[in-house]
């Protein structure tokens, strides 16, 4: 069974694809809908023109389109009904009607409208892709996939969105080979568009086709302006493919490459983060027994446990194998079996492995918190420098409501990490500090670790959350400004900054910030501006600006 997620796109700007020239329809754009302008501005122009020409079906159709784009399905349907009454059969209302009905959750009615549209315009690719989404929601998978194939065949110059959506649908329904072929054909026609290449790579990885994924990454690395992220991706894939020695060598090669860069380049934020990531990955490969508990269970653990079972069958007297499997069983919540594996490991090699670390958590998992604490107490008496042991006891102590002792254990774990604690441990400790009223301690810990570990995105984001919760808006805004400068997608942080300004009561600055975001997005290239993230941010900015009632559009700018 396949488990590839598929995300349906929201209504996006598609005026160009609504120009149904190929089926003999007039491109409906007397208001120049392709021109830049906020939804409210364009709506104002349409309403004004409708007042002057209330019997112009084109204007009602355009307003229906704008309302649909703004996800107001009810009003869109009313406008489309009016347009159809004024010019029956003259406008492609059935397509927009189908989209509006889908948005309203009326899937059967949406399908009927799209069926009628396709019957009238059988060569219009947009109709098939729209019906495919509805069919998927109705559970008519094979029919939906057939519609995606038809949409592609009738759209020889398909844009990346349609290619990626079709491929995602194929992969989500166990047609991985076809999904890859669709994406590769798109890359061949359009060039090395990152979204298409990344989707192909994602599908190959999820299908555990690591050889193909590695080949793709190596090809991308050769042509990428910055090969370092792809070198890291290759090392990660090798680890996922259980080629641990090759993965370690790939991480070491990345470290050597980074060390040979010029000082200014090597010291950049992105290169520093990659170096840190490489060192952490090697540390994990070199110390596979030092696992964080709990670890989310999943298919990876099942594969690892199967491999552990095979190793134990081949070498049943190797105590280390039994101990390693106990860690996997503990992570997956099979506590009694984990305890039994610890017994076997201790029998085969007494005192050779830190089984107390596993036993304490296993007993706690079984519900015997006091016994778990006793076992961990004994373990830490003989292993006082065991970082994960202190973290494990801290979690247990929190369950026992022994808060002060728990927080001491977290502080000890951080101190014992030799200045290089794992990110997960830092975040966990910070969460415990903040949950128990030690917000200043949480902030100090974050600031200290950011100085030591560099500007790790997870730490920076957590620090931002803590500052916002404490209403330290000036500090939060400064942090967001720093994140925006180094982020590959600064628009998200620009929006965060505008929101913080609003929270801080700096209304005028917030309005200016939202306006700057909207101007920035409207100035992006078409392909980039049309991405779902950018569309959503633009809509958010329009809503925030509109809510302030400060927008004063000039009608002349839309003439």
Note the pTM of the prediction, 2 decimals.
0.46
Whether residue 118 sits in one domain with residue 210 = yes
Verify that 28 and 140 share a domain, yes or no.
yes
According to the model, what pLDDT value does residue 453 have? 72
Q: What is the pLDDT of residues 106-133, one digit of tens each?
A: 999 999 999 999 998 999 899 999 999 9
Residues 68 and 118 grouped into a single domain: yes
**Structural domain contains residue 28:** yes
**Cα distance from N-terminal residue to C-terminal residue, the chain:** 55
Spell out where 90-177 has E strands: none
Between CA 25 and CA 38 the distance in angstroms is 26
Do 169 and 138 contact (CB within 8 A), yes or no? no
Q: Are residues 270 and 231 in the same domain?
A: yes
Specify the CATH number for the domain of residue 148.
1.25.40.10
Q: Is the pLDDT of residue 552 over 60?
A: no
Residues 6+ apart with CB under 8 A from 85: none
Average pLDDT, the chain: 80
In a domain, 117, yes or no: yes
Q: What percent of the chain has pLDDT over 70?
A: 86
Structure tokens at 13: 């700007």
User: Are 73 and 188 part of one and the same domain?
Assistant: yes
Residue 37's pLDDT is what? 52
Same domain membership, residue 218 and residue 241: no
Each residue of 82-94: pLDDT tens digit?
998 998 888 888 9
Distance separating alpha carbons of residues 515 and 98, to the nearest angstrom: 33
**Cα-Cα-Cα-Cα dihedral of 133, 139, 145, 148, to 10°?**
-10
Which one-letter DSSP state was computed for residue 225? Answer: S
Looking at residue 347, what is its pLDDT?
A: 92
Regarding whether 228 and 174 lie in a shared domain, the answer is: no
Does some domain include residue 361?
A: no
Domain that holds residue 61: 16-223
Tell which of 286, 307, 338 closes a domain: 286
Residue 443 within a domain: no
Question: Considering its fold, how many domains does the chain have in total?
Answer: 3
Mean pLDDT score, 310-333: 88
Question: Cα–Cα distances in Å, from 505 out to 192, 467, 479?
Answer: 45, 16, 18
CA atoms within 13 A on the CB side of 52: 6
Evaluated on CA atoms 312, 317, 320, 322, the torsion sign reads: positive
E-state strands within 28-130: none
Residues 206 and 98 placed together within one structural domain of the fold: yes
73 with 182, same domain: the answer is yes
Whether 155 and 259 share a structural domain? no
User: Which of 223, 242, 260 is the last residue before a domain boundary?
Assistant: 223
For residues 27 and 21, is the Cβ–Cβ distance under 8 A? Answer: yes
Angle at 411 between CA 421 and CA 297, to 5 degrees: 55
* Of the residues 263, 286, 309, the one at which a domain ends: 286
Do 152 and 213 lie in one domain? The reply is yes
Same domain, yes or no: 69 and 192: yes
């Amino acid at each position: 069974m396949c488990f590839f997620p598929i995300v349906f796109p929201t209504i996006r700007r598609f005026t160009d694809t609504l120009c149904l020239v190929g089926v003999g329809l007039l491109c409906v754009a007397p208001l120049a809908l392709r021109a830049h302008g906020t939804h409210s501005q364009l709506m104002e122009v349409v309403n004004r023109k409708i007042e002057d020409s209330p019997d112009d079906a084109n204007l009602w159709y355009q307003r229906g389109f704008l309302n649909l784009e703004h996800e107001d399905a009810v009003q869109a349907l009313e406008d489309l009904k009016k347009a159809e009454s004024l010019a029956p059969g003259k406008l492609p209302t059935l397509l927009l009607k189908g989209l509006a009905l889908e948005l309203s959750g009326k899937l059967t009615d949406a399908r009927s409208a799209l069926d009628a549209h396709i019957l009238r315009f059988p060569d219009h690719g947009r109709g098939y892709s729209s019906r495919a989404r509805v069919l998927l929601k109705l559970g008519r998978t094979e029919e939906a996939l057939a519609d995606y194939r038809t949409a592609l065949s009738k759209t020889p110059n398909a844009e990346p969105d349609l290619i990626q959506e079709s491929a995602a649908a194929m992969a989500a329904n166990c047609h991985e080979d076809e999904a890859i072929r669709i994406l590769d054909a798109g890359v061949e026609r359009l060039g090395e568009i990152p979204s298409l290449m990344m989707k192909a790579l994602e599908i190959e990885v999820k299908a555990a086709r690591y050889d193909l994924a590695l080949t793709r990454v190596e090809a991308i690395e050769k042509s990428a302006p910055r090969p370092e992220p792809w070198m890291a991706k290759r090392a990660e894939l090798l680890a996922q493919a259980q080629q641990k020695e090759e993965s370690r060598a790939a991480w070491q090669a990345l470290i050597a490459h980074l060390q040979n860069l010029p000082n200014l380049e090597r010291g950049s934020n992105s290169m520093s983060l990659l170096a840190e990531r490489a060192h952490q990955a090697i540390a994990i490969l070199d110390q596979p027994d030092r696992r964080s508990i709990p670890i989310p269970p999943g298919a990876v653990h099942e594969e690892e446990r199967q491999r552990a079972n095979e190793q134990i069958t081949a070498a049943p007297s190797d105590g280390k194998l039994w101990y390693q499997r106990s860690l996997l069983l503990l992570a997956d919540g099979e506590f009694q079996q984990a305890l039994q594996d610890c017994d076997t490991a201790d029998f085969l090699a007494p005192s050779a492995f830190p089984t107390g670390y596993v036993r304490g958590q296993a007993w706690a998992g079984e519900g015997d918190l006091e016994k778990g604490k006793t076992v961990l107490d004994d373990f830490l008496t003989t292993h006082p420098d065991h970082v994960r042991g202190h973290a494990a006891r801290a979690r247990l102590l929190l369950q026992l409501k022994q808060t002060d002792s728990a927080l001491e254990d977290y502080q000890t774990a951080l101190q014992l990490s030799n200045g290089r604690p794992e990110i997960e441990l830092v975040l966990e400790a910070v969460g415990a500090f903040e949950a128990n009223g030690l917000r200043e301690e949480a902030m100090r810990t974050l600031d200290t670790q950011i100085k030591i570990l560099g500007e790790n995105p997870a730490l920076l984001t957590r620090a931002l959350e803590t500052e916002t919760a404490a209403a330290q808006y000036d500090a939060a805004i400064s942090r967001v400004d720093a994140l925006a400068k180094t982020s590959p997608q600064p628009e998200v942080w620009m929006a965060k900054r505008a929101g913080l300004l609003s929270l801080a009561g700096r209304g005028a600055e917030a309005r200016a910030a939202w306006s700057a975001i909207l101007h920035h997005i409207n100035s992006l290239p078409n392909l980039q501006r049309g991405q779902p993230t950018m569309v959503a941010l633009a809509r958010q900015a329009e809503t925030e600006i509109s809510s302030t009632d400060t927008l004063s559009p000039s009608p002349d700018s839309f003439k």
